[in-house]
Amino acid sequence: MVENKDFILKGIVFVIHKFTDLYFLFFIINEITF
């Protein structure tokens, strides 16, 4: 049960990092275009 919860937590953290990386990438693109 604890291992499964840890796996889910790592998955959530991974998804959040992916979204923040995409957001940062879009921010950089917007800064370059404007």
For the stretch 1-34, pLDDT in tens is 567 899 999 999 999 999 999 999 999 999 888 6
Q: Tokens in use for 4?
A: 């499964």
Cα of 11 vs its chain's centroid, Å: 10
What local confidence, expressed as pLDDT, does residue 34 receive? 66
What local confidence, expressed as pLDDT, does residue 1 receive? 59
Q: Which of 34, 16, 24 is nearest to 8 (CA)?
A: 16
What local confidence, expressed as pLDDT, does residue 32 receive? 86
The model carries a pTM of: 0.53
Q: How far apart are CA 34 and CA 32, in angstroms?
A: 6
What local confidence, expressed as pLDDT, does residue 3 receive? 78
What local confidence, expressed as pLDDT, does residue 18 receive? 95
- Strand, helix or coil for residue 14: helix
